[in-house]
Structure 1
Amino acid sequence: MDPKASAPFRLDPHADPAVEAEALRKRGCPLQHVVLPGGVHAMAALDHKTALQVFGDPRMAKDPAAWTDLQEGRIPADWELMAFVRGAGMLNADGAEHRRLRGPSAAAFGRTPVEALRPRVKAIAGELLDRLEEAAATGPVDLRELFAFPLPVRVVCEILGFPDTAVTGLRRAFERLVTSGSDADPGRADIRSAEETIAAELAGLVAAKREHPADDLATALMQARDEDGNALGTQELIQTMFLILIAGHETTVNLVTGIARTLLKDRSLLDPVRDATRTWADVVEEGLRHSPPVRYTLMRYAKEDLELAGVKVARGTALVVSHFGIGRDPDTHHDPERFDLDRPTRRHLAFGHGAHYCLGAALGRLEAAVALEELFARFPDLTLATEDPEPLPSTALHGLKTLPVELRTDARPPEQRP
């Protein structure tokens, strides 16, 4: 079915992403014409094969200079998703420029094997669970606020050598960039303010780190040189720090809360872990397929006229990738709506593919596996305090605003509890 034969599909940041992906799939073609918030047009890849082409085809660019609508002035400078399009250093660069910007981060991340961080991640999880238990003395607690959020924040800040306030102090600004406003109030002034606040704060952190270098990732990035002996410029460092900080916590927060909610809705899903036929790493991998923390990857641009999934794509067209479309694709996964740890394949692209594959993928997987293992070991009777926690309205991310839970550490059977 030609996606141009019907009206474009309007993406809704407030919609259930699985329901939205199914509605798109029913239109019959794995590449669909969609409208992003703000009336911005794009094509969305809905299955694994098409997504791989969008991610890996050399005729695709990340540099927004290839986006016709942007270059011809049809995209407002204060568009709510502009932070995903401009700036952010290596995120929106191609070829040699991308390699130059990414190289220092890749080298710095590779200084310490990720597995060596497990004891520290476990220790942080334990401290946070102590506080969670204290807070639960007065009633239900927010698992997102008190556990899922601070854990990756502390980890990424310790790795960078920044204080936790590098994220917590900028939390509202970060969240404004990844959440959607309403059509009536898109909050564009708030977005501009958030960008300015983040840039100013990170500039201060970079300056302070130059004055007080240490054995940490931020210092390593400042000292790194490319093959020509050149270091990253100050603005490039700020953009790199921004990307590491926001990507280093937002996706993990949403991954942990999303999986925890799924498991708490049906405790039998954990049986393969309890009988040791599956691991917590398997739980995380199935979570990445079933309820990925990234809803749509933004953006790629066609550098020339081309054809994808039998659809002609004009030069300069913007493309996005639907991760719920990939993970819930019935042609790839049997009974895709089911969270199944015995599933023979879990093909997903939650961390991207190709040159822009997420540098922090291994760390994110480790953090989520440790967080969930420690949580359910400490509180095996954990239950949801509400069946319908409020979702996070976002085009880019999939998550929850809160996840209220009751710990119920009383070891007695439910019928014997007061």
Structure 2
Amino acid sequence: MERIDLGEYAEELLHDPHAVYARLRERGPVHRVCPPGADEGYESWLVVGYEEARAALADPRLAKDGSRIDVRFLDEDLIGRHLLATDPPQHTRLRGLVARAFTMRRVERLRPRVQQITDDLLDEMLPAGRGDLIGSLAYPLPITVICELLGVPEMDRDGFRELSTEVVAPTSPQSEYDAVVRLAGYLTELIEDKRRAGPADDLLSDLIRTTAEDGDRLSAEELRGMAYLLLIAGHETTVNLIGNGVLALLNHPGQLAALRADMGLLDGAIEEMLRYEGPVETATFRYATEALRIGGTRIEQGEHVMVGLGAAHRDGDRYAEPDRFDIRRDSRGHLAFGHGIHYCLGAPLARLEGRTAIGTLLRRAPALTLDGHPGDWLPGLLMRGVRSLPVRW
């Protein structure tokens, strides 16, 4: 199969990736590609069809643990193993231990606090009449929630934003390495501080204490890996859910008016935001542990596979008029939180924050509109979001 150099489409992928994926889908659901910025000669498979993407996400022959084919990533070496880099039975064990502490009941208990943080942020933001929605609401809400949930001191949160953004959308290999090193050191100290301090009512302290029926517990390295994953995944994706969702509404005034007229549509609108311009463009790598076929294309053992979530969501065979933003659409089945055993553990929290932030914003800022062009889209194929969103009200 022809190898496609996605570097040739780097600018288009940054500003309008859906047009690139549409052209690829016309040629087939799976393609051999060289991702933008990859080393010369590197190749991966990219899945752009919905049915093929859904099947690939749940296929046990596509491993998340790169060490099974002698691949290791920077964060695994410096941070530790976590849910996005493990397969059963290790993944089953880790998820079971984390699920004991990160329960639906715990998320539901956060509802009043999420509302309070949202109200406080809007109290500070709205008197100005205009501002950057990312910096004023979309970022500080989820970072405050996840840091409070895990027990990260408030004084550390501003520095954490810079490190986190560099990890998920690196500006250079060296800056990414430096950010991961600093995060590893910080998390090691944070965990040790909590061990010494004794019992506390936060998730990280609970993870330290959590024990399975057979006495199994998370090791120091596993604790650091889980803290890393929860901190990064627990806020970066929600920042983009809020930012992308509000941007979609402001770019579609008819849909915004419909939602304002009937806030009962909010839950469905959030799901359509996740489909239309979801926070994760491409799932993290998978590796073929044996030869298999995806959409009729043969993948050899040891080859890398990227599953395009954003691409799958614009597949017309799954969603009619997929490029149309429609808050009344039945968006069920979208893959924004993944599918299968790696389905996002934090999906209920992300939905809670998205509904609270966007619903409260629309009620309190009835004249909300764009105030210029959005900032740059985040680089790379992993995350989809803008760095700033100027609005006025």
TM-score in same-fold range (> 0.5): yes
Quote the residue 1:58 is aligned against: 60
The equivalences for 1:19-418 within 5 A come to: 19-26=19-26, 28-36=27-35, 37-39=37-39, 40-67=42-69, 70=71, 82-83=74-75, 87-110=80-103, 112-134=105-127, 136=128, 140-181=130-171, 187-212=172-197, 213-276=199-262, 278-407=264-393
Give the whole-Å Cα distance in 1 for the aligned partners of 2:89 and 2:76. Answer: 20
Q: Which moved more, 1:87-96 or 1:279-288?
A: 87-96
Runs of at least 5 residues in structure 2 that lack an aligned partner in the other structure: none
Counterpart AA for 1:102: R
Secondary structure of 2:283 counterpart: strand
Give the whole-Å Cα distance in 1 for the aligned partners of 2:390 and 2:307. Answer: 31
Note the C-alpha offset of 1:277: 7.4
Note the C-alpha offset of 1:151: 0.2
Percent of aligned pairs with the same amino acid: 36
Note the C-alpha offset of 1:271: 3.5
Secondary structure of 2:284 counterpart: strand
Deviations for 1:182-202, whole angstroms, at most 9, x for unmatched residues? xxxxx2221211111000111
Note the C-alpha offset of 1:374: 0.6
Note the C-alpha offset of 1:48: 2.1
Change (3 A) 1:290 1:216: same
Quote the residue 1:410 is aligned against: none
Contact 2:151/2:203 (<8 A) preserved: yes
Deviations for 1:212-245, whole angstroms, at most 9, x for unmatched residues? 2312211110011234312211111111001000
Give the whole-Å Cα distance in 1 for the aligned partners of 2:87 and 2:157. Answer: 28
Give the whole-Å Cα distance in 2 for the aligned partners of 1:283 and 1:85. Answer: 40
Change (3 A) 1:336 1:304: same
Q: What TM-score do the two structures reach when normalised by structure 2?
A: 0.92
Change (3 A) 1:296 1:359: same
Contact 2:4/2:31 (<8 A) preserved: no
Runs of at least 5 residues in structure 1 that lack an aligned partner in the other structure: 72-76, 182-186, 408-418
Change (3 A) 1:232 1:246: same
Q: Highest CA radius of gyration, 1 or 2? A: 1
Give the whole-Å Cα distance in 2 for the aligned partners of 1:161 and 1:172. Answer: 19
Note the C-alpha offset of 1:122: 0.9
Contact 2:243/2:385 (<8 A) preserved: yes
Secondary structure of 1:43 counterpart: strand
Change (3 A) 1:401 1:24: same
Q: What TM-score do the two structures reach when normalised by structure 1?
A: 0.87
Give the whole-Å Cα distance in 2 for the aligned partners of 1:352 and 1:67. Answer: 23
Change (3 A) 1:325 1:85: farther
Quote the residue 1:14 is aligned against: 14
Give the whole-Å Cα distance in 1 for the aligned partners of 2:155 and 2:81. Answer: 20
Q: Which moved more, 1:253-262 or 1:265-274?
A: 265-274
Give the whole-Å Cα distance in 1 for the aligned partners of 2:263 and 2:181. Answer: 49
Deviations for 1:128-150, whole angstroms, at most 9, x for unmatched residues? 0011124x25xx31110111100
Note the C-alpha offset of 1:85: 9.4
Deviations for 1:266-303, whole angstroms, at most 9, x for unmatched residues? 22202432333742111110001000100100111111
Counterpart AA for 1:131: E
Contact 1:330/1:336 (<8 A) preserved: yes
Give the whole-Å Cα distance in 2 for the aligned partners of 1:300 and 1:336. Answer: 26
Counterpart AA for 2:48: L
Change (3 A) 1:321 1:167: farther
Contact 1:283/1:369 (<8 A) preserved: no
Counterpart AA for 2:368: L
Change (3 A) 1:303 1:165: farther
Contact 1:88/1:242 (<8 A) preserved: no
Give the whole-Å Cα distance in 2 for the aligned partners of 1:332 and 1:23. Answer: 16
